[in-house]
Amino acid sequence: MEVLVKRHYHSIFAYVYRKTGDYHTAYDLTQEVFVKMMKSLGGYRENGKFNHWLLKIAVNHCMDYFRGREFKQQNRVSELTEEALPASEHQNVWNIFYKRLQNDQVRQAVMSLPEQQRDAVILNYYNGLKIREVAELTGTNESTVKSRIRLGITKLKEIIVGGERDKTYRKPR
C-alpha cells in the first residue's frame, strides 16, 4: 500500500489542488482519495491502468466534495464556431497557460471555469490524458470533452490575455 501511495501521491495531489485551488483542502481530499483507494482495491480490474482507476476515484471524490458544499458555478457558455479559435491560436493560448501555470492569475482563471470545463482542461493538459481517457473518466463522449476543452481554453484566453488575438495570427482570406 505504501508503495502505491508514494508512486501516485504527487499526481493525485496535483489534480486535486488544481481542481480546488486550495492547498489545505487538496491535502485533505488527497488523503481521503487514498483511503477510498485502499477500501476499493478489491474492485480494481487489472485490465485498465491503475493510475486511471485512481484518478477516477479522485475525480469522483472532488465531485462529491463540491456537491456536498453545494458548490455552484455559473454556467455561462457562449456559442463557439470553428473559426473562433483556430488550432494555431489554441496552441498559443495553451503555451501562455502552461508557462504561467504557477501564477495566481492563471490559477484563479482556471478556478473560474465551469466545473466540467475545468476538469477537461486539467485532465487533458496537466495530467496529459488523451481525449478518449478524459471521456472515460468523466463519463461523457469524446465530442463533449473536445467541446469542453475548446470552450475552457477560449475562456482562459479571454481571462489571461484580455481577449486580444495574438498579433502573429492572420485570419485566412
Q: CA-CA distances (angstroms) from residue 158 to 95, 97, 111, 150?
A: 14, 12, 14, 12
Answer whether CATH 1.10.1740.10 is correct for domain 2-68.
Answer: yes
Asked whether this chain's domains 2-68 and 82-160 adopt the same fold, the reply is no
Which CATH number describes the domain made up of 82-160? 1.10.10.10
pTM for this one? Answer: 0.57
Q: Where are the alpha helices (DSSP H) in 41-169?
A: 50-68, 87-99, 104-112, 115-121, 131-138, 142-160
Element spanning 20, H or E: helix 2-20
23-40 vs 50-68: helix crossing angle, rounded to 10: 120
Contact 59, 37 (CB under 8 A): no
Q: What sign does the CA torsion over 137, 142, 143, 149 have?
A: positive
Domain locations in the chain as residue ranges:
2-68, 82-160
What does the pLDDT read at residue 20? 86
Q: Which residue has the cell 457558455?
A: 77
Count of C-beta atoms within a 10 Å radius of residue 140: 16
Q: What is the pLDDT along the chain (173 residues), one digit of tens a residue?
A: 788 889 999 999 999 998 888 899 999 999 999 999 999 888 777 777 888 889 989 998 988 888 775 444 322 233 333 334 455 555 566 666 655 554 567 778 888 999 899 999 999 988 888 999 999 988 999 999 999 999 999 998 888 777 444 444 444 44
